Structure 1
Amino acid sequence: MVETVKTQCPYCGVGCGLEASPPAQPGRAVNRDKDGIPIWGIRGDRNHQSSLGQVCVKGATIGEVIHRNRLKHPMMRESLDQPLRQVSWDEALDAIANQIRHTLATQGPNGVAMYGSGQFQTEDYYTAQKLLKGCLGTNNFDANSRLCMSSAVAGYAKSLGSDGPPCAYEDLDLTDCAFLIGTNTAECHPIIFNRLRKNHKKNGQTKLIVVDPRATDTSKFADLHLQIQPGTDIDLMNGIAHLLVKWGKLDQTFITNHTTGFEQVQEIVTSYTPDKVAERCGITAAEVELAAQYWGESDRVLSMWSMGMNQSSEGTAKVRTLINLHLMTGQIGKPGAGPFSLTGQPNAMGGREAGGLAHLLPGYRFVANAQHRQAVEEFWRLPAGRISDKPGLTVWDMVEAMETGNLGIFWVAATNPAVSLPDIDRVKAALRKSPFTVYQESYFPTEMVEFAHVLLPASQWSEKAGMMTNSERRVTYCPQFRTPAGESRADWTVFAEVGRRLGFVREFAFNNSAEVYAEFVRLTRGQLCDQSGLSHNLVASIGAVQWPAPRGKIPDPMKTTRLYLDRQFPTPDGKARFAAYHSRGLAEPPDGEFPFVLTTGRLYGHWHTQSRTGRIDKIVKMHPNPFVEIHPKSAEKMGIVEGDLLEVRSRRGAGRFPAMITKRISPGTVFVPMHWGALWADQSEANAMTHELACPESKQPELKACAVNITLVAQILRKTESVEAEKEFVGTGKSLWNRLVEGLRRPI
């Protein structure tokens, strides 16, 4: 009988340790789901340093869904207007290899593109990089981390010299001032927040500052909630910097010895007085001053951020402006302090280490750096110049390339861009133009199936072995402990097999994922993210380990590692870089025609586009339907009552949602959760409204804010004076209207 196995949760970037127990246990009845299928028991691993035995509802219920609604066999069709038919793996893989050959011959390497996911294990990421960037000579690999963490990647690299969060979760226990901005940590990273909250309750001197346009489950515990207007983050942070300079709350020794560029920041923040910042942000001058006081008087300041900062047209500028505050006060490279990006996905960090964005190479290298390209080419034994010196297409570039006919093959794996990308109607239209789309997925159906020419069944968490790295740089071995569903295969094996069919037999002579990882870690040797001392066997035997973990110097898994304790940074002169930015505000501010700002985000129980969580009864009951939060003043002015069906419309499209009237949201701002696609509710896609305008440095779209107007659907229906029109608008089956009639409302 299989014993209890230790693994990592496959949901968010907290990377909680889990213990999975087989359904049959001595002396216990077999645990079965509603269909009578035995399910694995899941509990927190108390010995995993990242989570210490805690687990949220998503992790606790993962055993209920890993067998449900699975894609079990390869399927194909010649055109999207035909039905999918079951085929063999050989037929599907030959078709993919032939299409790649045809594309290389007719369009060149840039006609091939792959869009991957932070759901990948590191071995999946690495094999895909070797296939595309190495063997095929195209950097057209991007991942849904582009929508999640690319601004954090750019901010760390430009300010500190390299990607890589310098902090650790132990700092949550040690800080005396936590500055949370653009993160609803209590709902999106609950185990982290529980740990921070414990420190906050135990130590009466610890201050918690939360910056968020919404009043959230995070802000309710804050000593100071700064409910700023969307798009004013830089104004606030420059205003805090202004006061720190004015009050002399600077670490001048650190600034002089370990940084460059402070003079430019000092000059810019001069104009960010408390009164001006308060007016711009929609808060009071006293609140700005109190935030600066908390920061300036604290010995150990820990900042944390997530999508609210990153998903912005000035995302990199926001991240670097926050890092400025740490540099000017010396709040980095010591316990309890530092700028801490909270990663969104379970292995987004591992993806960054493996080079899993269009401008990256494995080992925190960049495609634009000639020495980095040469090092990887030599390691992979490729001809000089094989790796392109130009960054590849980002995912939005791929959308535009499909629109213009410049992609011959679009390969999507472990993600659902038919829901998650901005301006989703435009994305769907582009997908319909793709001549050959491969979709590699575990669940069936998802919204992306509609646009696939080839469907490949992928083994998921529990069915394959590999590594994942969480937000604190802790690497966990995730073993296989279940038989793969149907004919599903691990993602890395699919990439490797296509590579072999294209003639790259030597390059993909891997027998198992342990060999893939062993090759990858050799490529990290000497880099900031050095993992050359790690292996599957080692991590499985001693437990999850933080990097850096160079060969011969494996850190104690029970102890914490931090970066920059010596105050030396991986820049040419060893110094961190200040960056001076003025606030530009929203890319699409509200106006007379579209007077509201729409912001989007996650809910506690759901995950991304519901491919997993939408199939778990407990979570569906917790979050049964989408909604739009609107402030009572706005609702009263428009004659809206609780539960009214509202149309939220931008310049790109519209969605329809029941009204939730709440003071959680600021007047003039509305909130819609991002989880619902066409499979889960009618006309309720948050990304029907969002735009693609992105940060010029990180290329991360501003998914967090766009201009919209609000209309009562009842008013639209009355204008049509047609019963048929009412049927068209309201719909049948799973429509929002029927959900409301049935009383399925989310509690306020």
Structure 2
Amino acid sequence: MEPEKAVIKTLCPYCGVGCGLEAVSTASGDWKMRGDRDHPSSLGMVCVKGATVLEAVGRDRLLSPLFRESLDQPFRRISWDQAFEEMVSRLRCLKDNPHSMAMYGSGQLLTEDYYVAQKLIKGCLGTNNFDTNSRLCMSSAVSAYTQSLGSDGPPCCYEDLDLCNLAFLVGTNTAECHPILFNRLKKRHRTGSPLKIVVVDPRRTQTAEAADLHLKIRPGTDIDLFNGIAHLLLKWGSIAADFIEGFTQGFAEYAALLADYEPQIVAQRCGIATEDLIEAAKLWQGSQRVLSLWSMGLNQSSEGTAKITSLINLHLLTGQIGRPGTGPFSLTGQPNAMGGREAGGLSHLLPGYRLVSHPQHRAEVEQAWGLPGGSISPHPGLRATEMIAALETGSLQFFWIVATNPLVSFPDLERVKKALKKSPFTVYQEAYYPTETAEYAHLLLPACQWSEKTGVMTNSERRVTLCQAFRDPPGEARPDWEIFAEVGRRLGFAAQFSFQTAAEVYAEFAALTANRLCDHSGLSHALLAEQGPQQWPYPKERTSAPKSTRLYTDWRFPTPDGRARFIPHHSRGLAEPPDPQFPYVLTTGRLYGHWHTQTRTGRIEKIKQMHPQPFIEIHPRDAEKLGIQDGDWVQVRSARGRAYFPAKITANIAPGTLFVPMHWGSLWAEQAECNALTHDISCPDSGQPELKACAVALEKADPPLKQSPQL
């Protein structure tokens, strides 16, 4: 075995589990990856994506700034100085109309990147038009936590996976999308631990296969299910009356609403057996420690906030929160979506879980940033899908996209493509080239990838990990925060962007979180390097960190009266239900090996072999009706577009429902973009689109003629 030369601790840059990795340098100068056994979130475990991540870091990289005057011209190489001058001159022209510019970022950015972007866009430029792909991922969880409990931030920790005796998984294929967490549950389940697993999902996923009870509900009936379980618990007297009386408000209105949810009615709406509904309620009733977990299946909905608050209602009804093994736990989709929210990375937020609409919050941030009062706009900026509408109307003149690939991930892709073609000036800051989005940009900026820059990320259990650089950037790539800071300096804000290191950036951000729920003020790069990952809140006066922390252990909540809120909801159903023209419901999701739009994983041979092509899951009954056999090509149509897939006939999907993986854009397969079909109707509270369900038609077809490009 080749001797080890150096070991650098870092974090996996894929999902929000936040698994610790060690980059090991060998005597020959190569790097290899392994799990970090000292990292408390993953204990040395790693999935195929983390194990192979280095294979994609050096491939197909953008190595220098590229520019073109119009989209019909080829790119030409320019210097960084020319790139900055091109951007700054255009931004100066928009000085009197700052809201005509917008930045769309990513949960893959480090917290330092996020923070400097907030300072530039919301502080110095004076517009709150900063949003990220977290709007498509976790914003419904943000909204629901805030409405029900008073603040964003999951109240649970991963230790609760080891302590719960009911794991209630809804809208999450945890086995494939968050495998290291699911392995923890599965191991307990297999070894005879007093643990029951309930899975709520229209598909029989790998997660559902491990469940004691699988509720194969119709898409869009989650609220009916939650209210139906609550109806039975209330009827049986299995509620936490003292907790409700002492620590909540709104119970009377909630109890009145539950009267409409008799078991037979709920079972019929959900498409499940009444006995299974009763069994789910009995499992909740008989469990002392209930942990619910969810992901995109609840978040990506036109009523995402209502779904999640309805699930939280169940926890409040039974006092299942703030104690070991209990609580409502949002599983984050991206590695630093949590850190981004802490840094203010949504269009209504400021650093430290502050709100742009709150006068005192704005004043605190303006003072910290050395800016005059009134510099920060009091109005929330454009949300992600609203940016597309602004491009259509011409009100957006400067569009800056960072570390994400919206020309695959946005809903209603044909509309997005047309809008981007109308953009007067689009900057795309990215590590890889080509990507689908690069085709729609005027200026490409080469950014450092994970492993080439230092900073922190926060995972789903609020644990902050220092990710240290261990490779030199290729070509002229620069860290994202340094790019933002240089633009700020050239715009005349030298004092605000005098940072020399990422550690200085983090120190300023951490100080701004002092006495906030997401308090980082006791943390620093040096402390994290010495003591390892830490959970927030971590105030400056803390001398040591407990092994794990939970929020709301005293059952006092950050609401005006200190009480959690029951928020009753009836379901409105799908925003686009099936009809005679489009009789099927299409749902989308991830596969184990891939992640998001294949920008990384599509360049890794082992993963490409695991998932060589997209597909569509069809129930045998639907396939027989349409004369479709396994492997046949089919065309899927919605009111917005069409796509082509080989059929996978399986009883794992419910009749009337279809499933397509979301990873394939135009670079990787021909006309297999699932988001050519989806719509952008969004949750009114969170602004998160209903990417999980749209109405489609299905028919047998010839395969698309053009072959996929080879990368």
1:261 aligns to 2:235 (yes or no)? no
Judge conservation of contact 1:8–1:476 (CA < 8 Å) in 2.
yes
Counterpart among 226, 230, 241 of residue 252 in structure 1: 241
| 1:555, distance to aligned residue in structure 2 (A) | 4.3
Q: Matched residues in 2 for 1:589 and 1:418: separation?
A: 25
1:543 aligns to 2:546 (yes or no)? no
| 1:373, distance to aligned residue in structure 2 (A) | 1.1
Secondary structure of 1:707's partner? strand
Structure 1 203/369 Cα, relative in aligned 2: closer, same or farther at 3 Å? farther
Counterpart among 391, 401, 405 of residue 402 in structure 1: 391
Q: Which residue does 1:688 correspond to in 2?
A: 676
| 1:202, distance to aligned residue in structure 2 (A) | 2.6
Judge conservation of contact 1:154–1:697 (CA < 8 Å) in 2.
yes
Judge conservation of contact 2:10–2:468 (CA < 8 Å) in 1.
yes
Q: Matched residues in 2 for 1:411 and 1:395: separation?
A: 12
Q: Matched residues in 1 for 2:30 and 2:12: separation?
A: 16
Secondary structure of 2:94's partner? helix
Q: Matched residues in 2 for 1:499 and 1:329: separation?
A: 51
Counterpart among 337, 341, 344 of residue 348 in structure 1: 337
Q: Matched residues in 2 for 1:587 and 1:460: separation?
A: 38
Q: Which residue does 1:495 correspond to in 2?
A: 484
For structure 1, the 5+ residue unaligned runs are: 31-37, 715-728, 739-748
Judge conservation of contact 1:182–1:307 (CA < 8 Å) in 2.
yes
Q: Matched residues in 1 for 2:135 and 2:247: separation?
A: 30
| 1:556, distance to aligned residue in structure 2 (A) | 2.8
1:600 aligns to 2:588 (yes or no)? yes
Q: Which residue does 1:95 correspond to in 2?
A: 86
Q: Which residue does 2:575 correspond to in 1?
A: 587
Q: Matched residues in 2 for 1:204 and 1:390: separation?
A: 51
Q: Which residue does 1:237 correspond to in 2?
A: 226
Q: Which residue does 1:734 correspond to in 2?
A: 708
Q: Which residue does 1:560 correspond to in 2?
A: 548
| 1:707, distance to aligned residue in structure 2 (A) | 0.1
Report the AA paired with residue 36 of structure 2. Answer: D
Judge conservation of contact 2:107–2:334 (CA < 8 Å) in 1.
yes
Judge conservation of contact 2:11–2:18 (CA < 8 Å) in 1.
yes
Judge conservation of contact 1:187–1:217 (CA < 8 Å) in 2.
yes
Secondary structure of 1:618's partner? helix
| 1:286, distance to aligned residue in structure 2 (A) | 0.7
For structure 2, the 5+ residue unaligned runs are: none
What does residue range 62-461 of structure 1 map to in structure 2 within 5 Å? Answer: 62-105=53-96, 108-461=97-450
| 1:341, distance to aligned residue in structure 2 (A) | 0.2
| 1:199, distance to aligned residue in structure 2 (A) | 1.9
Secondary structure of 1:598's partner? strand
Secondary structure of 1:664's partner? coil
Q: Matched residues in 2 for 1:136 and 1:158: separation?
A: 30
Q: Deviations over 1:296-324 (max 9, x none)?
A: 11000000000000000000000100000
Judge conservation of contact 1:39–1:63 (CA < 8 Å) in 2.
no
Q: Which residue does 1:35 correspond to in 2?
A: none
Report the AA paired with residue 60 of structure 2. Answer: N
Q: Matched residues in 2 for 1:730 and 1:471: separation?
A: 40
What does residue range 607-686 of structure 1 map to in structure 2 within 5 Å? Answer: 607-686=595-674
Q: Matched residues in 2 for 1:279 and 1:384: separation?
A: 57
Secondary structure of 2:205's partner? coil
| 1:599, distance to aligned residue in structure 2 (A) | 0.2
Judge conservation of contact 1:546–1:555 (CA < 8 Å) in 2.
no
Report the AA paired with residue 391 of structure 2. Answer: M
1:507 aligns to 2:496 (yes or no)? yes
Judge conservation of contact 1:50–1:169 (CA < 8 Å) in 2.
yes
Q: Matched residues in 2 for 1:363 and 1:322: separation?
A: 26
TM-score normalized with structure 2 length: 0.98
Q: Matched residues in 1 for 2:155 and 2:373: separation?
A: 34
| 1:104, distance to aligned residue in structure 2 (A) | 2.3
Structure 1 segments (4+ residues) deviating >6 Å: none
Q: Matched residues in 1 for 2:75 and 2:511: separation?
A: 42
Structure 1 39/712 Cα, relative in aligned 2: closer, same or farther at 3 Å? farther
| 1:244, distance to aligned residue in structure 2 (A) | 0.7
Q: Which residue does 2:34 correspond to in 1?
A: 43
| 1:730, distance to aligned residue in structure 2 (A) | 2.4
Structure 1 554/584 Cα, relative in aligned 2: closer, same or farther at 3 Å? farther
Q: Which residue does 1:13 correspond to in 2?
A: 16
Q: Matched residues in 2 for 1:386 and 1:655: separation?
A: 46
| 1:554, distance to aligned residue in structure 2 (A) | 4.8
Secondary structure of 1:585's partner? coil
Q: Deviations over 1:352-373 (max 9, x none)?
A: 1000000111001111111211
Q: Matched residues in 2 for 1:391 and 1:276: separation?
A: 41
Q: Deviations over 1:477-504 (max 9, x none)?
A: 0001000111000000000000001001
Report the AA paired with residue 730 of structure 1. Answer: P
Judge conservation of contact 2:671–2:704 (CA < 8 Å) in 1.
no
| 1:378, distance to aligned residue in structure 2 (A) | 1.5
C-alpha RMSD over aligned residues = 1.1
Q: Deviations over 1:687-721 (max 9, x none)?
A: 0000000000000000000000001114xxxxxxx
Q: Matched residues in 2 for 1:2 and 1:590: separation?
A: 59
Report the AA paired with residue 5 of structure 1. Answer: I
Secondary structure of 2:464's partner? strand
Percent identity of paired positions between Structure 1 and Structure 2 = 64
Secondary structure of 1:104's partner? coil
| 1:732, distance to aligned residue in structure 2 (A) | 3.4
Q: Matched residues in 2 for 1:93 and 1:627: separation?
A: 43
What does residue range 569-588 of structure 1 map to in structure 2 within 5 Å? Answer: 569-588=557-576
Judge conservation of contact 1:39–1:64 (CA < 8 Å) in 2.
no
1:474 aligns to 2:448 (yes or no)? no
Structure 1 554/698 Cα, relative in aligned 2: closer, same or farther at 3 Å? farther
Number of aligned positions between the proteins: 707
